[in-house]
Chains A and B, each alone.
Chain A
Amino acid sequence: MSDLKDYPDIADGIEKKGISRRDFMKFCTGVAVTLGLPFGMGTQIAEAVLNPKRPPVIWLAAQACTGCTEALLRSNHPTLEHLILDLISLEYHETLNAGSGKQAEDWLRKTIKENKGKYILVVDGSIPVKDGGIYGKIGGKTMLSLCEDMSSQAAAVIAIGSCASWGGMPSADPNPTGATPVYQVLQNKGIKTPVINIPTCPPNPYNFLSTVLYYLTFKKLPELDDKLRPKFAFSRLIHDNCERRPHFDAGRFAVQFGDEGHRKGYCLYKLGCKGPETHNNCPTLLFNDVGSGAWPVGTGHPCFGCSEKGVGFTVPLHTPAKLKDITPPVNFPGIAEKRGKGVTVAAAAVVAGLAGAAIGAGVATSKKLDKKKTGSESKE
């Protein structure tokens, strides 16, 4: 069992910031639960968090709105941003850097050199690739070359937000800058560094933190789905956990914004809610720790499908969702279900008995007929 006292620097810091040991352990257990890990894992996560040799994180901002950073800053557990940003040793983040200009770029180069193959690269925003990537530059270098360069030396790449995951808003038709998701850039270049997508616009900070802490704790990436999203957060459809689902099942729909159904909180499917085709944990995790209803559908707006490739930023906002799968899969009757009652032992026994009796009686009768015939013939 780890103890804050074993790590005097951090423990001091935590206590100075007014975080009790109890609160800290609660946070770590909360992370474990988000990850779908057993409660006991909380202590293991705490140990990982307190380990002074935590890997450095470099944050590269490409074509994005900084919403992902803003959302992360609003993770509201007691002064969490400080705690975690301190803990994961954020070496470079354009929005949060204390220094700027040459100072910052020098630090970046130094960090990359010292932590080659060990740091985690976080990219928010899509990478412009059209015309050699000239539509986005940092310190005179294109985002494309920076991304390729930094990702090839990283231990893992986390593409945070829908832009980094699928291209997002910058890639919307007609996509003037050739905005490309991070995994695609790496694939084009043949870079083998593992990529995790944490889509959502903006991503829930706890999904991001949980991914990072999972990596810190287990030294491996969490289980990913076929679109490289961590399964703990993106394995379920919004529709399946939606608080308005009973209205859907009962056929109660809002048809227009502000109509009676909308005011009564009915299902938003007819307004184009993409919940039925979008995988995310928004309905259960909610945003900003302010209690129930703090997510798009809760506020009365249909889900936009930001965390699903080819839905958000691609399909018109208010078209009805397409169906991904039969949900729930076991509960639909098949085309040709077995119906009707079949043979039972008793019934079969009676039928067999009857057949036997009939054959027996037939044989006996034919014998008697023989006798009778010969009898009557002899009489004659």
Chain B
Amino acid sequence: MIDESKPIGGKILTKPFMFFSAIAAIAAILLIKRFIFGIGAVTNLSDGYPWGIWIAYDVVVGTGLTCGGYAISLIVYVLNKGEYHPLIRPAVMASLFGYTLAGVSIFFDVGRYWQAYNPVLPKYAQVNSVMLEVALCVMAYIAVLWIEFTPVFAEKWTDKFRIVSRPLNKVLFVFIALGVLLPTMHQSSLGTLMVIAGKKLSPLWQTAYIPLLFLISAITMAYAVVIFESLISAIALKREMETPMLSKLSLYMVGLTVVYLIVRLGDILLRGKLLLAFNGDFKGFMFIVENLLFILPFFLLSSPSKRNNPKMLFYAAISMLLAGGLYRFDTFLIGFDPGPGWQYFPAFSEIMITLGLISIEIVGYMIFVKKLPVLPAVRPA
């Protein structure tokens, strides 16, 4: 089998592991404060900016960044390109962490967390709400991801999992299909969330195409993060680089970006709002930066030789990650203006809690790749 995966092994308690654990511990302490004194005690959220970085980063950018499982599944299972199969497990694992932690962060962010299960109760579900769709989809997708990931545990503890792994393997394709469907639904709906904000969102971002743009940018970001992750783990874990596969993957990324840019810029041109980008304010500046970051990979990867250069791939991936992240951040925070007088900048403790979540993600990655069969087995060079 070409896509055999193996735990890479090694010591768990490394220096980076301790460092990120410490940040997570700080975040945990701050979270105690949040649950005793309320959200206002640890964040700068206000009635004007009810959503801060916990939503804009942890949920919207965070799930976009970790759509790798979805994006690779799309190629492997829907387009039937088996050669990308080695990328699936790390990507699904990243999705697993990203989405689970986004779910955790929503739990911190919602005010009435003890009722957080209400969306699944039919008597409360409100079918016109975009939020309901996002909430249910994300909940379902988290469950699907854990199920998709069970073979990994099964391989590790075969004996214990034998009872479930057999029947599971038979129906796993259903969960894989759901794993493609659900992100398509909620990644686009994440964008639709802001349609109802109407004029509170700058016309540079407010458009009826938002669901399409969010969907495409989620996929491009996902390819970028797969490239990024592969390159980083090649260095950090001293593994062989998967440059040829990544270089092919980068083509999908660039191709989709072209579609994205045509929709994005075409829409804004047709709506006649492009000049807003050049009136010298912060929003206009961020719009320009965001779109330049989308365009940059196109030039970085314009020739096959560049595409096979890991450094270029690395830069292009970073550019794409920043672009997609910024697009989401702009839509949820920077382009959002509740009216004159309101201001928001995340509080120190708010940032620390977000950093804590990211740290848990990194720590989790370290444990999983060392202990579970996630990364493709090292081929003899």
Residues of A within 8 A of B (CB): 335-344, 346-348, 350-351, 354, 362, 365-366, 368-370, 372-373, 376, 379
A340 and B348 within 8 A (CB)? no
- The minimal Cβ–Cβ distance linking A364 to chain B, given in whole angstroms, is 9
- CB within 8 Å of A: which B233-273 residues: 234-235, 240-241
B351 and A373 within 8 A (CB)? no
Residue in chain A with minimal CB distance to B348: A346
- The minimal Cβ–Cβ distance linking B186 to chain A, given in whole angstroms, is 28
Chain A residues within an 8 Å CB radius of B344: 340-342
Q: Is the C-beta of B318 less than 8 angstroms from some C-beta in chain A?
A: yes
Chain B residues within an 8 Å CB radius of A343: 345
- The minimal Cβ–Cβ distance linking A179 to chain B, given in whole angstroms, is 51
Chain A residues within an 8 Å CB radius of B193: none
Residue in chain A with minimal CB distance to B310: A369
B232 and A365 within 8 A (CB)? yes
A341 and B311 within 8 A (CB)? no
State in angstroms the CA–CA spacing of A283 and B302 once bound together. Answer: 85
Chain A residues within an 8 Å CB radius of B311: 366, 369-370, 373
- The minimal Cβ–Cβ distance linking B345 to chain A, given in whole angstroms, is 4
> Given A340-B48, A373-B311, is A365 in contact with B345 using a C-beta cutoff of 8 Å?
no
State in angstroms the CA–CA spacing of A354 and B351 once bound together. Answer: 10
Residue in chain B with minimal CB distance to A351: B351
Interface size class of B (residues with CB under 8 A): 20 to 34
Chain A residues within an 8 Å CB radius of B347: 341, 344, 347
Chain B residues within an 8 Å CB radius of A376: 240-241, 381
B348 and A341 within 8 A (CB)? no
One digit per residue, 1 when the CB lies within 8 angstroms of any chain A CB and 0 when it does not, for chain B 308-332 equals 0111001100100000000000000
A340 and B49 within 8 A (CB)? yes
B343 and A340 within 8 A (CB)? yes
Residue in chain B with minimal CB distance to A346: B348
One digit per residue, 1 when the CB lies within 8 angstroms of any chain A CB and 0 when it does not, for chain B 348-360 equals 1011100100000
Residues of B within 8 A of A (CB): 44, 46-49, 231-232, 234-235, 240-241, 309-311, 314-315, 318, 339-348, 350-352, 355, 381
Q: A365-B314, A366-B311 are in contact. List 17 more A-B contacts (CB 8 A).
A: A335-B340, A339-B343, A340-B46, A340-B49, A341-B46, A341-B343, A341-B345, A342-B345, A344-B347, A347-B44, A347-B347, A347-B348, A351-B351, A365-B235, A373-B309, A373-B310, A379-B381
Residue in chain B with minimal CB distance to A361: B232
A338 and B310 within 8 A (CB)? no
Q: For B44, give its contact among A340, A348, A366, A370 (CB under 8 Å).
A: A340
Chain A residues within an 8 Å CB radius of B381: 376, 379
B48 and A350 within 8 A (CB)? no
Chain B residues within an 8 Å CB radius of A344: 345, 347-348
State in angstroms the CA–CA spacing of A165 and B185 once bound together. Answer: 78
A350 and B351 within 8 A (CB)? yes
B314 and A336 within 8 A (CB)? no
State in angstroms the CA–CA spacing of A358 and B231 once bound together. Answer: 16
Residue in chain B with minimal CB distance to A347: B348
State in angstroms the CA–CA spacing of A338 and B340 once bound together. Answer: 8
Chain A residues within an 8 Å CB radius of B231: 365, 369
Q: For B343, give its contact among A342, A350, A351, A369 (CB under 8 Å).
A: A342
A350 and B241 within 8 A (CB)? no
- The minimal Cβ–Cβ distance linking B103 to chain A, given in whole angstroms, is 24
Chain A residues within an 8 Å CB radius of B310: 369, 372-373
B352 and A338 within 8 A (CB)? no
Chain A residues within an 8 Å CB radius of B318: 362
B241 and A338 within 8 A (CB)? no
Chain A residues within an 8 Å CB radius of B232: 365
Q: Please list 30 pairs of residues, one from A and one from B, whose beta carbons are closer than 8 Å in the complex, sorted by A's number.
A: A336-B340, A336-B341, A337-B341, A338-B341, A339-B46, A339-B343, A340-B44, A340-B46, A340-B48, A340-B342, A341-B46, A341-B347, A344-B345, A344-B347, A346-B348, A347-B350, A350-B348, A350-B355, A351-B346, A362-B318, A365-B232, A365-B235, A365-B314, A366-B311, A369-B235, A369-B311, A373-B241, A373-B311, A376-B381, A379-B381
- The minimal Cβ–Cβ distance linking B315 to chain A, given in whole angstroms, is 7
State in angstroms the CA–CA spacing of A342 and B48 once bound together. Answer: 12
Chain A residues within an 8 Å CB radius of B235: 365, 368-369, 372
Chain B residues within an 8 Å CB radius of A338: 341, 343
State in angstroms the CA–CA spacing of A336 and B338 once bound together. Answer: 11
State in angstroms the CA–CA spacing of A347 and B345 once bound together. Answer: 8
Chain A residues within an 8 Å CB radius of B343: 338-342
State in angstroms the CA–CA spacing of A335 and B340 once bound together. Answer: 9
B351 and A347 within 8 A (CB)? yes
Q: For A366, give its contact among B234, B314, B352 (CB under 8 Å).
A: B314
State in angstroms the CA–CA spacing of A368 and B235 once bound together. Answer: 7
State in angstroms the CA–CA spacing of A376 and B234 once bound together. Answer: 12
State in angstroms the CA–CA spacing of A369 and B315 once bound together. Answer: 11
Chain B residues within an 8 Å CB radius of A342: 44, 343-345
Residue in chain A with minimal CB distance to B308: A373
State in angstroms the CA–CA spacing of A182 and B49 once bound together. Answer: 61
State in angstroms the CA–CA spacing of A362 and B322 once bound together. Answer: 12
B314 and A369 within 8 A (CB)? yes
State in angstroms the CA–CA spacing of A351 and B354 once bound together. Answer: 12
Chain B residues within an 8 Å CB radius of A350: 348, 351-352, 355
Residue in chain A with minimal CB distance to B315: A366
State in angstroms the CA–CA spacing of A346 and B309 once bound together. Answer: 39
State in angstroms the CA–CA spacing of A337 and B342 once bound together. Answer: 8
